[in-house]
Structure 1
Amino acid sequence: MDVILKKLEDVDWNNAQQTLDQQGYAIVENVLNADDCQEFIEGFENPERYRKNVDMERYRFGKGHYKYFKYPLPDILSKLREHVYPKLVPVANQWMRNLKLDINFPASLSELHKKCVVNGQLLATPLILKYTKEGFNTLHQDLYGDVYFPIQAVLFLNKVEKDYTGGEFVMTQQVPRAQSKAIVLRPKKGSMLIFTTNYRPLLGKKGHYRVTMKHGVSEVHSGERYTLGVIFHDATT
């Protein structure tokens, strides 16, 4: 079996699903090895891989650069996206039921992409992000169109405190009529963080209610920070 597929098959997905449902995020360690991480980092400067390069400061998204891959995606990224998506569908659909929303996500990534095509969303959304000293990413949501999957992932390509300092992954959880809760994470190199794209249910005294989630990156103090963003739905631009 392919190495990346073997690693993903060995994941305790029941535990990951439960953690994701309870917390809004879950961390799976050792998804990428050191060679995988280095290959993506070295490929950052290869323009043949990408369809779009974004200077975050220009658009007031933060300070850093990110590049959207074009189809066909690198093999590891494609396999990871196709294999992880169906593991997340049960959580996504349960969230929709909890919130009494008439939304049902298909079992396969290819079926989700058919829905994207109908809505004019044809472009790849996986991306690689680079931050240097003083780089950061403002709080945001990765939606890209009317068709969007409520869960996404990010993979960490270098080692915090060795390759960079600062640069924590930050999420905020906005409970209605209350202050936001901040969640700050520092996953290990090669880890995959699975998290909420836009909103998720929380159980209250009167049933489930919706909480809005956003994510970003705190300021990098030194070094270079690289990550891979894995969004499952496609984009219009």
Structure 2
Amino acid sequence: MSGSFRRRGRRSSGHQGDDRHATRWTPDGAEVSTSRIARVERCHEVSSRHERVVTRTRRSVAARVDAIDWDAACTELDSLGIAATGPVLDVEECHALAQLYGDEQRFRSTIDMAHHRFGEGQYRYFAHPLPELVTRLRAAFWRHLLPIAREWAERRDDPAPWPDDFDEWLDACHAAGQTRPTPLMLRYGPGDWNALHRDLYGELVFPLQARLS
């Protein structure tokens, strides 16, 4: 799975991760059908597989992100507003993350892009707790994207409120009322597409977004 980075801002439709479209499955406690039992078993299998991948990659994710050609990425960001990298995750890691999409308890909200007129397809916002692999990727990318964001802010004479430590930034966001997790997973079918847009959730914003595809 390779990565890319792009500038980030406000979505033109004004959508900010509306929880009205959240999809949840809760056992009713009275009757549990065979299909539901099978579904729970599959979810446990997916979670176990994901945890095995996390254990194996715990020490190596940061090293792989560090190995990205960040000078080239900075040049592309300056000239194009987006930069592509080589592979960051391997096939097994990608598969483990993709399998999480069917586990509704992993997500806080499901969004139909066609309903909001910004594409075709679906995406889901992760719920707390985030998958550990996602958590480690965010922290690994932060220390490399932070100098870029600060340089851009300096050029524009804008404030740069982002601390060195990613957890401190999350604490600041939570203190400002921005408590919902924003990492998401997209699912495209044949012919699906994503309209050009900009995202923003809350007043505290980091101007760069990392995407693995």
Normalising by structure 1, what TM-score?
0.61
2:171 to 110, 114, 123: 114
Q: Is the 8 A contact 1:55 1:65 kept in 2?
A: yes
Residue 18 of structure 1 deviates from its aligned partner by: 3.6
List alignment gaps of at least 5 residues for structure 1: 157-237
1:140 to 175, 197, 200: 197
Match of 1:36 in 2: 93
Match of 2:11 in 1: none
1:90 to 136, 141, 147: 147
For the residues of structure 1 that align with 2:172 and 2:62, how far apart are their CA atoms?
A: 26
Alignment of 1:62 with 2:119, yes or no, is: yes
Greater Cα offset, 49-58 or 8-17? 8-17
Matched residue SS, 1:54:
strand
Q: Is the 8 A contact 1:96 1:104 kept in 2?
A: no
Matched residue SS, 2:196:
strand
Higher relative contact order by CA 8 Å / sep ≥ 6: 1 or 2? Answer: 2
Residue 77 of structure 1 deviates from its aligned partner by: 0.9
Corresponding residue pairs, total: 156
Match of 1:152 in 2: 209
Match of 2:188 in 1: 131
Match of 1:7 in 2: 64
Q: Give deviations 1:40-80, integer Å, cap 9, x for gaps.
A: 22221111211111111222222111001112211211101
Q: Is the 8 A contact 2:162 2:169 kept in 1?
A: yes
Q: Is the 8 A contact 2:68 2:86 kept in 1?
A: no
Aligned identity (percent) is 33
Match of 1:21 in 2: 78
* AA matched with 2:171: K
Q: Give deviations 1:197-224, integer Å, cap 9, x for gaps.
A: xxxxxxxxxxxxxxxxxxxxxxxxxxxx
Instruction: Please provide the CA RMSD for this pair.
Output: 1.7
* AA matched with 1:147: L
Q: Give deviations 1:118-141, integer Å, cap 9, x for gaps.
A: 321001111100111231222211
Residue 3 of structure 1 deviates from its aligned partner by: 2.5
Residue 86 of structure 1 deviates from its aligned partner by: 1.5
For the residues of structure 2 that align with 1:81 and 1:2, how far apart are their CA atoms?
A: 14
Matched residue SS, 1:29:
strand
Matched residue SS, 1:142:
coil
* AA matched with 1:132: G
Which segments of structure 1 move beyond 6 Å, counting only runs of 4 or more? none
Alignment of 1:74 with 2:139, yes or no, is: no
For the residues of structure 2 that align with 1:44 and 1:129, how far apart are their CA atoms?
A: 9
